[in-house]
Homo-oligomer: A and B are copies of this chain.
Amino acid sequence: MKTPSSLEELIAALRCLPGVGPKSAQRMAYHLLQRDKQGALRLSYSLTNAVQGIRHCAKCNNFSEEEICVLCSSGKRDESLLCVVEMPADLLMMEQTQSYRGMYFVLMGRLSPLDGIGARELPLDRLVRRAQELPCEVILATNFTVEGEATAHYTATLLRAQGIRVSRIARGLPVGGELEHVDSGTLAQAILERREVMG
């Protein structure tokens, strides 16, 4: 018994999606062909369209349809601050806070030797040039994971060697957080990084 070849090919192609194994790929293909052919065609079109239309902003490295993205070309941002994030989703989170009005640089990844991503795979030289060109204080807002911390440490060393001022976003208890329910590592950091209460 053979699966039709175009169905087999679709199942194989779906495996390019992160987190999709053989069983999920099969289930997705069946679902699309059985219940959502319109969705499948729309997805097909969107994929080609995005691959052809999306590039990286020459300044912040975020995904963009233009040479310079909307944010970098707005002219209304504070150019004395450059916030470094791992992914575009992190940039969106920063923007949602509405408390940061500076520029950004998106690494599109993090140092992760296990996934074959070393310092060469990240656009760190472009980050240094961008920081020198502004010039600015660089705020490192990579995640507080092992990889994110390593990335921040490595990036800070690089930038400071060029005389660039570098800071890291604060660790501590979340707003509304209770000591009883926070993990001890976070609490230890919150104690270490305590701030004097002004009168």
The number of chain A residues with a CB under 8 A from chain B is 57
**Residues A18 and B13 in contact, CB atoms below 8 Å apart:** no
**Residues B46 and A18 in contact, CB atoms below 8 Å apart:** no
With A4-B54, A6-B53 known to touch, is A45 a contact of B43 (CB < 8 Å)? Answer: no
List of B residues within 8 angstroms of A51 by Cβ:
32-33, 37, 40-41, 44
A145 at the interface (CB under 8 A from B): no
Chain B residue nearest to A36 in the complex (CB): B16
Number of copies: 2
**Residues A54 and B33 in contact, CB atoms below 8 Å apart:** yes
How far apart are A100's CB and chain B's nearest CB, in angstroms?
11
Of the listed stretches A64-72, A134-142, A156-164, name the one at the interface; the rest are far from the partner chain: A64-72
A47 contacts which of B41, B53, B63, B89 (Cβ < 8 Å)?
B41
Residues of chain A in range 74-104 having any CB-CB distance to chain B below 8 Å: 87-89, 91-92, 95
List of B residues within 8 angstroms of A14 by Cβ:
43, 46
**Residues B44 and A16 in contact, CB atoms below 8 Å apart:** no
CA distance A4 to B87 in the complex (A): 14
Extra contacts besides A13-B46, A16-B43, A37-B51 (16): CB < 8 Å: A1-B70, A1-B71, A1-B95, A2-B70, A3-B63, A4-B53, A6-B54, A10-B49, A16-B32, A17-B43, A18-B31, A19-B27, A29-B50, A32-B50, A40-B50, A40-B51
- Can you list 12 residue pairs at the A/B interface with Cβ under 8 Å? A1-B70, A3-B92, A6-B53, A9-B49, A14-B43, A18-B28, A26-B89, A30-B87, A30-B88, A41-B47, A41-B51, A43-B47
A interface residues (Cβ-Cβ under 8 A, vs B):
1-7, 9-10, 12-14, 16-19, 24, 26-34, 36-37, 39-51, 53-54, 63-65, 69-71, 87-89, 91-92, 95, 108-109
